Amino acid sequence: MKSKLIVTGVAAAMLLSGAAFAGSHAMLSVKAGDQSVAGGTVSASSIVAPKNGWMVVHRTDASGKPGPVVGHAPLKAGMNENVTAILTEPVKPGDMLMLMLHGENGGMKTGIFEYSLGAKEDGPVKVDGKLVMTVVTAQ
């Protein structure tokens, strides 16, 4: 009887820790602050992704709408820390950038970022109809 209780206790602990792990990863997010882009890069301190995908850097403005893509970096499923994208064009201090979570949906080639505005491949991830993103201001 004693060994059954130990096994049951271990199984319950494993289930609870698995639920906590799943719950912590269920909150998709992109976290970053205003930063210098003088080195030609922009970074997110952390991103939680549901599966492999991309951090995509869009230009934006006070309207809050995503504009042209000016960089991207690969993501793995789960927690990603210190994600850095190389900017593909100059960004000046004061410019606003939207760091957005995009999926890796195959398209013509898996592992190659293929999204452009209006395309479905490697498009934005949404939760309850809202983009998973944050806006930073270049310093």
Helix extents (H) in the chain? 2-26
Cβ atoms of 99 and 55 within 8 Å: the answer is: yes
pTM given for the model = 0.80
Q: What is the pLDDT of residues 92-138, one digit of tens each?
A: 999 999 999 999 987 788 898 999 867 788 999 999 999 999 999 99
105, part of any domain: yes
Measured CA to CA, the distance from residue 23 to residue 121 in angstroms comes to: 27
Measured CA to CA, the distance from residue 134 to residue 33 in angstroms comes to: 9
Domain, as residue range, for 99: 28-137
Q: What are 128's two structure tokens? A: 């309850």
95, part of any domain: yes
Q: How many domains does the chain have?
A: 1
4, part of any domain: no
Q: What is the pLDDT of residues 38-72, one digit of tens each?
A: 999 999 999 999 999 999 999 999 999 999 999 99
Find the helix or strand (DSSP H, E) in which 42 lies.
strand 41-49
21, part of any domain: no
